[in-house]
Structure 1
């Protein structure tokens, strides 16, 4: 066994106990052998670091591939309707609405909705509905239910908005989004068609979604 092989076996713990004792005694008593041992160790350290670095890079690459795979599986498992809902849903700006009665109460509800306190806003609007039959109140209740991830409750309320109301096409848009959330694409198409009839931002978005789900 040459010197380098002896040092390597010692470093890797492959020497017998007897050989180990002999080598350690030799290194302790002989300066030239100790110097050779120190040189050998310095040559080996970069190799170990390189191996660790290579292992770490391989591990990170593997981790990235696993994460990408999980993301892809999740994406493929998610139905198209909920994906489109997530991409296009934005809360309506209730500050654009005005009602003729109980104006202060309606403002309280708008403020709660703006702060994303949807449950509080819903309670205010439902209480207000007992006194007012205006479309703006019904519309606001439907929006709260949709924001609270309850499209099955939002849709029938929004469906009560009369065709002559200025909110009719907006209600059709949010009904379509509700149906997308439920992955009911055919029903979503019906209301997207209504929402796409005028020249507005909602109309443009409705046309884009219709093209995607044809």
Structure 2
């Protein structure tokens, strides 16, 4: 595969398993390729900036920061074309109305298991089996097992993972109910449920509630989704008409 195409697929998050291995090999062994990737990552990051002036200022710095490339490979032309394309995408996107489902899909990733280390042995208990199913993305099975747990002995943080699983299954109303209960519990992961609540309300097109939930993450000591919440808040605020 052409190196340019490989970088483009990497930036789009569309590398296959084989391509990912090839990409990692090049990153480790080819200094020039690594410099090219770093440069295009900077371009992509700049394209996401919400302040157009800041975006233009960053582009001006690329003459200094871009890697030294072999003339015969015509990378200068490729870089200029990519910057122009990303600039066009950026300007187009900020002028478009919000598409709740697209925005949800862009930001939603099921919660990672940070609560139960899995040691798979014979005679695993229901909780371990539930998390095993959860980590294998079989969310329906995970929810079934979560519901089989004794309510009096089930830790509150289960609600965090149940809410995430329900969102992954497009059961948004149920997810909101579960996540709100988890937030009310005051559990150590309750703050993180605000992020998934924000996404749930976003999917329903309730931007007011989305912004309220995102604001709960602001200034938190937990770094969880801090940057993403700021970015999403800015995108919603910029796209909505002024009151």
Using structure 2 for the length normalisation, give the TM-score.
0.51
Is the CA contact (8 Å cut-off) linking 1:98 and 1:136 kept in structure 2?
A: no
Unaligned runs of 5+ in 2: 1-91, 118-123, 238-243
| Residue 114 (1) aligns with residue 135 (2) | yes
Give yes or no for contact 1:129–1:137 (8 Å, CA) kept in 2.
Answer: no
Aligned match of 1:154: 175
* Structure 2 residue matching 1:212: 3-state secondary structure: helix
- C-alpha deviations, 1:122-176, integer Å up to 9, x for none? 0001111534342122222212211111111101111012363211111100011
Q: Which runs of 4+ in 1 moved over 4 A?
A: none
Tell me the CA shift for residue 97 of structure 1: 0.9
* Count of residues paired in the alignment: 135
Please point out which of 70, 90, 99 is paired with 1:80: 99
1:183 aligned onto 2:205: yes
Q: Give the gaps of 5 or more residues in structure 1.
A: 1-71
Structure 1 residues 1-214: aligned runs within 5 Å: 79-94=98-113, 96-98=114-116, 104-128=125-149, 130-161=151-182, 162=184, 164-198=186-220, 199-214=222-237
Q: In structure 1, what is the Cα distance between the partners aligned to 2:224 and 2:192?
A: 11
TM-score normalised per structure 1: 0.57
Greater fraction of residues in helix: 1
